[in-house]
Amino acid sequence: MRLSTVDLSALIGRTARGDQAAFQELYGQTSAKLLGIALRIVKDRAVAEDVVQEAYLKVWQGAASYSLEAGRPMTWLISIARYRAIDVVRARRETLARTHEDGLDPVETMAEPRDREAEFIERNRLSICLGQLDESQRRCFLEAYYDGYSREELSQRFATPVNTIKTWLHRTAAALRSCMGEA
């Protein structure tokens, strides 16, 4: 059973007051989603599981700082997990940078050899869709979502204003969703 925004917000509120049962229910209702997000970013299940555990530790410690007026509870939870996953990727950036220096296609490095056929087809579709993008915007998008660069870092790397970077990322994501949906 999926909980509503109000229900999740109430669980976070009870968690803020130290209610372990509410925290367990919050975890049970949301951990699969956060694991999926972390896994897409870090590309390693064990690391993603660690990221999710660290994210929930932050939720437990910072639940009192959450406010429904500030945003939806799931958005708050996702942002905690996403930023933790990006921190992990940044910590491994040196290794990732060497991979890109070797001239490997970043889409190819996302996959493991044991991927199923459907995942291969999706990667192939993603590669085709990425190939249809402007080179600068494609590189910017990949560096943001797969290498973990912040908008500010991308602004410096591409000598482009932060607001332009935000626009590029938004439009590129929309173009990819559209292309992947059509393919």
Domain boundaries, the chain: 5-91, 93-182
Instruction: In whole angstroms, give the CA distance from residue 5 to residue 97.
Output: 39
pTM over 0.85: no
Q: What burial letters (b/e) apply to 160-181, b meaning 16+ CB within 10 Å?
A: eeeeebeebbeebeebbeebee
CB atoms within 10 A of CB 116: 8
pLDDT along the chain (183 residues), means of 10: 77 93 92 90 89 93 86 89 87 60 56 52 76 86 80 89 90 85 62
Instruction: In whole angstroms, give the CA distance from residue 39 to residue 112.
Output: 13
Q: What is the pLDDT of residue 182?
A: 62
Q: What is the pLDDT of residue 44?
A: 86
User: What's the DSSP call for residue 133?
Assistant: S
CATH code for the structural domain at 93-182: 1.10.10.10
Instruction: Evaluate whether 5-91 and 93-182 have a shared fold.
Output: no
Q: What is the pLDDT of residue 115?
A: 47
CATH code for the structural domain at 5-91: 1.10.1740.10
Angle at 97 between CA 94 and CA 100, to 5 degrees: 160
Q: What is the pLDDT of residue 144?
A: 83
Q: What is the pLDDT of residue 61?
A: 92
How many residues in total does the chain contain?
A: 183
Q: What is the pLDDT of residue 21?
A: 93
